Amino acid sequence: MTAPIGSNYEKGIIVLNTVGSSALAVSGISLSGVGAMTVAIVDGTGTQVTSFGGGTQYTNGGTPPANPIGNAIEWSDGVNWQTVSTAKPLPVTLASTAITGTVAVTQSTSPWVVSNGGTFATQATLAAETTKVIGTVNVSAGQTIGVTGTFWQTTQPISASSLPLPTGAATAVKQPALGIAGTASADVITIQGIAGMTKLLVTPDSVALPANQSVNISQINGVTPLMGNGVTGTGSQRVTIASDNTAFAVNATLSAETTKVIGTINIASSQTLATVTTVSTVTNLAQMNGAALLMGNGVTGTGSQRVTVSSDNTAVANWGQGATGSAVPSGAQYNAGLAQTALPTAATAGNLTGQLSDKFGRQVVLPVTIRDLIGTQTTTISASTSETTIITAAASVFNDLMLLVVSNTSATATRVDFRDTTAGSILFSIYVPAGDVRGFSMGGVAVPQTSVNTNWTAQSSASITDLRIYAVWAKNK
C-alpha cells in the first residue's frame, strides 16, 4: 500500500488506507536501526500544543488553588475549598419556582429574615373585651369607648378638645398677666403690707433717691463731719478755693515759727530768714544745709557743693588731660596695677581685684586663658583603627586645642587623624614612627574647635599594640 524508498525503509511516506470496514494499515517504515518516530500535536488553528494537563491538585480544607483538579466534587466557601458532604453541603440557590408539598427547613447559625409581604387570613369574629389590639383603632365621632381594667401605668394620657372646669375655676377670658421687672404692665397686681393700705417696707440697694429728697448724713468716709466754726480735725472736709473766688478775711495773727505758708513770701532786704525749705527766688544766700557757702577759687571744705562735670566740659587746667603724643601734664594720673613679687591671695569669683604687675609696672598676662580654664586628658589606643575620644565634650564650651603629644611604643609606624567632632572632617594628621614621639605646642595660639558641645577624636591608620595621646586645651566661648 506504500512504495518503499530504501532497502531499510528508513525514510518514506506513510500511507493510511481503509477498505470498507478494514482497519488502517501502515507500511513503508522500518524501525530497525532507528529511534521511535517523533510527532507533533496541533490544535484546530494549526498551533502546536506543547503542554498538557495543568492546574493544581486541591487539598481538602485548604486554600483554593487558581485551577483546582481532582475527582471529588469541590466548592469554595470564599476562603477554602470544601468537599461536598453532609457536614459541608453544596450551596444551592432556588429559582422563583412554586414549591408544593412539605419542605423541611433547618435554621442555620444566621438569623432568619421574615418578610411581611402578602395577604394572611385572620379570624373575623373576636370575643368581646378579651382581645388585645396592636396598632391604631379608628373610632367614629359618635361612638363611646369605655376604658376599664388594669393598666401598665397609673396615669393614662388622654387627648380631648374640651373638658369641664373644676369648681371655682376662673371663667373670665382675660386673666392678669405677670409683669416683667423693669417693664411697665397694665396687668400688674398691687401689693400691700401687713395691713390694709400699709406701705410695704423695702431696703434700697444703690437706688437713686427722688429729686430734691432731704437726706441727713451723719458720716462721710466713716468719719463724723465737723460743722460750724472751730478747729480742724479728721471730720473737716478738704476744699478747693476757686481762682475767681471773691476776697475773704483770714486770721491776721499767726503764731511765730509754727505756721507753714504756701505761696510767695516777700522778705525785706534787712530781714534774716532762719530756715528755708524751698525758695523759688533767692537774691543772696549765706548758708546751705547749715554750712556757709564757699565761693571763688580755693581749697574745698564743708561749704563746697558737690557737682557733676558734663561730658562736653572744656578741659580743666592742671587736671591731667592732654592730647595724644603730647608731653605728660603735671597733674597726670596713672592707671596702674599692683607690683607683685609673689602670688597674692586668690579672690572669690566675681569679686573686685587689682591688676597684677611686676616691679617695673609691666602688666602680667597669661597665654590663651587662666589656669582654671585649662583642661588635660590622656588616652590610650590599643589594637584599634576606630575613632576614639581624646577630649570629652563640654556643654556650651569650645575646647580649643593648645598642646598634643602622641607616643607610639609599638614596632609599627602609624598615621593618626584628628577631628573636632565624631565622624567630622579630618583637621590634621600626625605621622608617628615606630617607637617614637610626635606632637606640637601652639605657644599661646590654640586650634579653635568648630562647635560647642562636641568632642575631639583620634583615629590610627594601623592597628598597633600601644598608642598614647596627651592633650591640653583651653575652655572658651
Which of 415, 410, 404, 413 lies closest to 377, judged by CA?
A: 404
Distance (Å, whole) CA 407 – CA 382: 12
Distance (Å, whole) CA 74 – CA 175: 87
Residue 472: per-residue pLDDT: 96
pTM over 0.85: no
Residue 379: per-residue pLDDT: 97
Q: DSSP readout, 223-248?
A: BPPP-SSS---TTSPP----TTPPP-
Pairing of β 81-83 and β 388-391: unpaired
- Specify the 3-state DSSP secondary structure of 371: helix
In tens digits, the chain (477 residues) has pLDDT values of 444 444 444 444 444 444 444 444 444 455 555 556 677 788 888 888 777 666 667 677 777 776 666 666 778 888 888 888 888 888 877 666 677 777 666 666 666 666 666 665 665 555 555 556 666 777 777 677 766 666 666 676 777 677 777 887 777 666 666 667 667 766 666 665 666 666 666 666 666 667 777 778 888 888 898 888 888 888 888 888 888 888 877 665 555 555 566 666 666 666 666 665 666 666 677 788 888 888 888 888 888 888 877 877 776 665 656 677 888 777 677 777 888 898 889 899 999 988 889 998 898 888 888 899 999 999 999 999 999 999 999 999 999 999 999 999 999 999 999 999 999 999 999 999 999 999 999 888 899 999 999 999 999 999 999 999 999 999 999
Domain regions of the chain by residue span? 1-39, 371-476
**For the domain 371-476, what is the CATH code?**
2.60.120.340
Burial 275-290 (b: 16+ CB within 10 A, else e): eeeeeeeeeeeeeeee
Residue 136: per-residue pLDDT: 73
Residue 458: per-residue pLDDT: 98
Tell me how many degrees the CA angle 333-335-339 measures, rounded to the nearest 5: 120
